[in-house]
A and B are shown apart, each in its own frame.
Chain A
């Protein structure tokens, strides 16, 4: 049941004068059960959290990196914005860049929000609105973000609909703000980007708790089962169904049909991208083909008989790629129809017949029919498909490689600037025919096909694929299936050591696989941090990357480390929408460990997270607008994010200025809110690193918080110094800023470090109880 708050700032009618009237209508019983005091931000609108945003953006500069010198969004333009010129509407390059960042965030958030609505509606249509929100016996705090933002405890999936509507309303306002001649201030655009990010995070939470509750996905499974991952996991001699996208609804139909008809041994079902995570959360026997970069690569092998697409992260030319190998395409979402014929009103048997007779694809938004159509079509056509593929045969490869003109266009087109031409030249017969460079490239290639678009003589990506055939045909590793929420019980165990700094930090590897140099180094950093007792979380394509690489003993990080939320563990929360649980873990720490009320209490909760919880998000392979939306949401909650070098293409970082002491002044709640100086921690809110080593060092550094105890700071500094020395071969030049007391310097290095610090004029400091808020803004 929905509850609504009505607020009147001021009402004057006749002789009646009312100020600050607040009424809660409906759902009284539940509200009475929830005795937590309420903060001031119930369903905050586009303007309501500006103060918090301005506090954040007052500490962290928006560093703009424009990707275009012109604006061409209206017919006044294109307008030249170089040399300080303003556009015809009056916007300068900072305003335009901030506006584009907002627009990009809105795109990403809209994808997640649309997904959330579709999942919630699908669940209600299939099971009714009264499906109980059930996050398992270890979770009383079922939906932390809904509690903070909507000030309600959802009991059923139906209760989530009003929250979806609220998000949609806010998203409409945000989209409106990007139109010409609306907002003019870069700072306000940035505030709106953070608001869009918050809407995104809330939508993620709604989508995931709805699907966990309805489809019986793991509810905080601390030992979630392992699933197979890799292009060699599926037997191409059997009928193969490949699901691509993010919305698990069609996937549930495929799994249900397969299981109900006992076809698990006869048919191979696998998925690419987040769908793979969510399908394995329902049935771990589903195969995880891999991250987004494997989409075209796998289709071109010719293995899939039927490709089922839903929404998000689907290539625009997926139908063309399917046609190359004769795979049939089933589109299930209105977001990605590809001009296919709508067959919703036809019987599954008729649709199968159509496709067997040669129809190369259909649009089938009737989710319940998808399983039968996909599997029966695959069973009917797979024998004809065998042997068909869209990559060269091994015995014709040498001739193709020898035809390379060495023009270098492939190198320039490659988003990662990979040395494709060099590998081709090495592979030529006249140079000894060494294909190892092509094999190595296949591992680093992000599967974008831009090299194919520019090459005058061949498809270089397919050449790499044939050259590495023996590798991908046997590629079989393991990924831990998505566990879902972090349990209240786990939070109670680690809340204190995280807040006090004794667990050095929580580092979450999230997002896409647009890696500048392959994914192996990501798995290596994950292993390194887990060995250093960080709590490591993974999600989305990053979680797959972590499972795609093995170490000396043949194990992946999921086999090397436990899946609990605890120090030295590596835990996969699940798909993109499961990213919500990472933010939720921080909110739960604030609530369960420190008793910070969640209800309508955004500012205080985020202030707590920013100053006390050493959590950092890492999106090393950032590519999609959704990654930006997730990151902007995390930043507003007080969780800094480190991105890879491609992150600058989103045009903005939020950089701290450690050299300006006035930026690092907070109120000390232990001393009557007196202003005190703190160290620059966390130093940045949004940061793009140029190399994986820099990312690792920055992630560790950003785990420091002004509230760390001396022992906690010592542990964090030990890791910071150690990684800095490992990668840069010297002491951190900014060490003095983070050492507040001699005892915080690691024992083994104390003498040496103190000598360096004293040379730099270091002086000891106290540890405050830090907040950017005033006493009257806080409930505790």
Chain B
């Protein structure tokens, strides 16, 4: 079983481990919000743009990638609004974490799990037990391969 980096949380409802093919399909869902964080440069070159294409993007932390955004705010602020009716809450059915530092992402994914109906997907290389879907702990090479496959599936 995939081991969490922050082992305190119990995954009460075990979800499936994410893979590139699955991700490629999921990203085509309408109502997807991407939270793109300050570690976006960890992604392989040329992957971010096709990944977020078609979805809304909120930039968090000091992220400044070459993608069109709907807003810039802290990931804490964005997730709080996603859990608040009448704000971002209910507006998005799917929230995808990209390049958000692992530990703050853990807290935010837990918040979404408990207080939001949105499906949360983590593209972190390390497993996130509080996301509905997350990669198992992957080596950099395997992670880049899965992301590459997701991009291919999206454009197929």
Contact = CB atoms under 8 A, between A and B. Distances in A.
Q: Do A and B come from one complex?
A: yes
Interface of A: 61, 63-70, 80-82, 93, 408, 412, 415, 417, 422, 516, 645-646, 648-649, 651, 653, 655, 657, 659, 687-691, 693-694, 698, 727-730, 733
A690 B12 contact: no
20 contacts: A63-B83, A65-B107, A66-B110, A66-B114, A67-B6, A70-B12, A82-B114, A415-B103, A417-B5, A645-B101, A648-B104, A649-B103, A659-B87, A687-B76, A689-B74, A690-B37, A691-B101, A694-B60, A728-B62, A733-B71
B38 A80 contact: no
B104 A688 contact: yes
Given A648-B108, A694-B62, A63 B80 contact: yes
Q: Is the interface of A mostly helix, strand, loop or mixed?
A: mixed
Contacts of A733: 71-72
A431 to B, nearest CB: 15
Contacts of A694: 38, 60-62, 74
Q: How large is the interface on B (under 10, 10 to 19, 20 to 34, 35 or more residues)?
A: 35 or more
A93 B102 CA distance: 23
Contact of B12 (A65, A80, A693): A80
Given A691-B61, A729-B64, A69 B108 contact: no
Given A67-B110, A68-B10, A733-B72, A412 B62 contact: no
Interface string B87-107: 100000000000011111011
B64 A728 contact: yes
A318 B21 CA distance: 49
A70 B75 contact: no
A687 B83 CA distance: 16
Contacts of B81: 659
B8 A67 contact: yes
Given A689-B61, A691-B38, A691-B62, A64 B101 contact: no
Nearest to A406: B139
A57 B12 CA distance: 31
B148 interface: no
**9 A-B pairs closest in CB distance:** A648-B107, A693-B62, A645-B104, A65-B107, A691-B38, A691-B61, A690-B61, A694-B61, A691-B62
A773 to B, nearest CB: 27
A410 to B, nearest CB: 12
A365 B104 CA distance: 41
B107 A688 contact: yes
Given A645-B103, A733-B72, 18 more contacts: A65-B107, A65-B110, A67-B6, A80-B12, A408-B137, A412-B137, A417-B103, A649-B107, A653-B76, A653-B80, A655-B77, A659-B87, A690-B101, A691-B61, A691-B62, A693-B61, A694-B74, A727-B62
A733 B72 CA distance: 8
B111 A64 contact: yes
Nearest to B114: A93
B102 A64 contact: no
B110 to A, nearest CB: 5
Contacts of A67: 6, 8-9, 107, 110
Contacts of B12: 69-70, 80, 82
Given A728-B62, A729-B64, A733-B72, A69 B103 contact: no
A693 B38 contact: yes
Interface in B1-30: 3, 5-6, 8-10, 12-13
Nearest to B138: A408
A69 B126 contact: no
Contacts of B8: 67-68
B60 to A, nearest CB: 6
A66 B106 CA distance: 10
B74 A698 contact: yes
A70 B101 contact: no
B113 interface: yes
A417 B115 contact: no
Nearest to B129: A69
Contacts of B59: 728
Contacts of A422: 140
A27 B98 CA distance: 63
Contacts of B13: 82
B104 to A, nearest CB: 4
Contacts of B71: 733
Nearest to A67: B8
